[in-house]
Amino acid sequence: MTERAGSASPATGAVRLVIVLGGLSAISPFATDMYAPGFPEIVASFDTSGTAVQLSLTACLVGLAVGQVVLGPVSDALGRRRLLLAGSRRVRRPVLLCALAPSIAVFEVTRLLQGVAGGAGLVIGRAVISDRYTGARAAHQLSTLSVVGMTAPVLAPVAGGLLLGVGSWRLVFVALAGAGLLLLAAVWAWVPESLPVERRRRGGPRTVLAAMGPLVRRRALVGHLLVIGCALGALFAYITGSPFVFQDG
């Protein structure tokens, strides 16, 4: 893998890396929101309530949060590439299970697992940038990933609506599985290991949680987090509720 990465020019390799990491940042928002236009159809398919279907979105978000808290520290100890490949492989299985889910209960469990696996791309992709770049260059690359991550939730429902025009809601998850396969190939080809063995740290999630203690005692930081959290809460309330309003009301 090192030889393959070295065969391209540094500029080309950097562009490829950012493209792949941008894809990893986008796939989780797409997996979270792309099926939202199909909520009323899912209600009818499983003969369940709108609340139960909306809970599947919550389950995915919980999985994303847990996955980032757990997999980020694990990558500090084991390296980035191994977990990125594992996350890209494993995220396809819950996605396909979502497409084949026979009941709303199975669907919600697989959405939770999908979120956990998708957390690898979000947190480890940013860690790769921090490993390779510092200062203004790191800020620029992280800003690029942030733009991708904020744009994806807006585009995802549109893409999902287009797919629903040619197939059922299950087709959305088949498409996501295909996108995951392409990302797996791109990670294997273009994302080398960025954390040398001598820089790896052990301690796991417990160390991360301990480090968060002093941060949550900073009132200014907590204030910013609350503002961002409320804004995102409003966004996802709109995402989960609007399909029912537009299609049924």
Question: pLDDT tens for residues 144-180?
Answer: 998 888 888 889 989 999 999 999 999 999 999 999 9
Confidence of residue 8 (pLDDT cuts 50, 70, 90): low
Asked if residue 50 has pLDDT above 70, the reply is yes
Q: For 41-56, b where at least 16 C-beta lie within 10 A, e where not — what string?
A: bbbebbebebeebbbb
Mean pLDDT, all residues of the chain: 88
Beta carbons within 10 angstroms of residue 7's beta carbon: 9
Q: In terms of Cα–Cα distance, which of 84, 92, 117 is closest to 17?
A: 84
Confidence of residue 3 (pLDDT cuts 50, 70, 90): very low
Asked if residue 124 has pLDDT above 90, the reply is yes
Who has greater pLDDT, 169 or 10?
169
Asked if residue 6 has pLDDT above 50, the reply is no
**CA pseudo-torsion sign 92, 94, 95, 101:** positive
Contact 49, 100 (CB under 8 A): no
Return the DSSP state at 37: G
Confidence of residue 208 (pLDDT cuts 50, 70, 90): confident
**Can you tell me the mean pLDDT for 94-99?**
92
pLDDT given for residue 115 in this prediction: 92
Q: In terms of Cα–Cα distance, which of 156, 131, 153 is closest to 142?
A: 131
**Can you tell me the mean pLDDT for 81-109?**
91
Architecture of domain 2-248: Up-down Bundle (1.20)
Q: What is the residue extent of each domain of the chain?
A: 2-248
Return the minimum-mean-pLDDT range out of 7-16, 92-101, 160-169: 7-16
pTM: 0.85
Percent of the chain with pLDDT strictly greater than 90: 57
Q: In terms of Cα–Cα distance, which of 64, 65, 82, 63 is closest to 74?
A: 82
Asked if residue 242 has pLDDT above 60, the reply is yes
